[in-house]
Amino acid sequence: MQFEITFKNEKEKTYRLIILFFVILHALFFTYLLWDKTLWKTGVGGLIIIILYSGYRLLMSRTSEQKFSYGSGIFFLFMLFFSVLFSWWLLITETVLSVLSYVLLQHKSIYFNSYSIELRARPYKRYKWADLNNVILKDDILTLDFKNNKLLQGEIETTNINENAFNTFAKEQLVNTSN
């Protein structure tokens, strides 16, 4: 038997709002560059990237029936754009924004099987059942109690899990490893 449980990212809305703010700042920066006689081509290029990526994200959100939002991809495109322009400080800034947005928006999930427990997020971690005192899923809150007094707890996003079946499975695994 195996289970995969996804945690809710309670601050995801805030993170997406901050990313939108940075995209708007980029659009204002590229609009400002339009008025410079030597850098107007850079401004046009940046605005084209924003428009094309926004169209792509809008199309993807409509076809997959999700909300429209920017991800780390826009900053990755800006990173490539600024690397062509040989602007190292903008390249570093875009790299940091791209990595940060990727890490903050990742979906954290835990995969349970009879051999181990895998935390599928960055950083990836694998735990043995012998490392745990207790595992409980109750009222959409998953709790992992480790023997080293570490506690991992979070509200889950996955709704199709039978709590009784999961708790029975976890108890069996904990009993089997203690013998």
Whether 165 has a pLDDT exceeding 70, the answer reads: yes
Say what the pLDDT of residue 66 is: 78
| Global confidence as pTM | 0.74
CA dihedral of residues 82, 12, 104, 90 (deg, nearest 10): 20
Fold of 108-178: PH-domain like (2.30.29)
Pairing type for strands 141-146 and 116-120 reads unpaired
- The number of beta carbons lying within 10 Å of the beta carbon of residue 168 is 12
Residues 114-126 pLDDT 10s: 888 898 887 888 9
Q: Where in the chain is the domain with CATH 2.30.29?
A: 108-178
CA dihedral of residues 169, 174, 177, 179 (deg, nearest 10): -110
Say what the pLDDT of residue 49 is: 92
Phi, psi for residue 132 in degrees, rounded to 5: -110, 145
Residues 10-50 pLDDT 10s: 888 899 899 999 999 999 999 999 998 888 998 899 999 99
